[in-house]
Amino acid sequence: MDISRKTDYALRMLAELVSNSTGVVSVRTAARENEVPYSFARSIQHDLALAGIVENTRGASGGMRLSVDPHKTTLLQLVEAVQGPVVVSACLSLPATGEPCPRRHNCPFNPVWCNAERLLRLFLASVTLYELVVERTSPLFEGSFRLVSEEEARAAAKDAREE
């Protein structure tokens, strides 16, 4: 999975909104303060408004403001709103057809990729915008891994697909 430049810029702009005490920030200010090209920032603002993450206000004191609760909005939700589903491999959905990979039942790597995607999604969903920006906290994985049989790995991968 690759975090796009657009997503990086969008997250910077959202952090600016969370940090601002008035709650309203002009696109120009958000762009300047976060080293985002202004024309790109305008496009991002439009996309964030379409996704329901920000609302735009007009006028002399206009700009954009959050329309989601930063205490409840996870990093996963924001990333997926900007760049689409978090995907590690095409095991679950081939780009051309949208169907799962036909080799998944015989592929020894399928359970690994499916479980890696599940872990990444859980990791990104474990932290909110408020926790990252205001509290300056970040998730830390402290779990462990164990090797399991192919049958157990496939069952876990199936569970991951159904979540």
DSSP 64: E
Cα-to-chain-centroid distance, residue 38: 22
Q: Are 1 and 69 in contact (CB under 8 A)?
A: no
Distance separating alpha carbons of residues 89 and 80, to the nearest angstrom: 16
DSSP 101: P
pLDDT tens by residue, 9-19: 999 999 999 99
pTM: 0.84
| Residue 18: predicted pLDDT | 94
Class of 5-162 in CATH: mainly alpha
pLDDT tens by residue, 91-106: 777 667 777 778 878 8
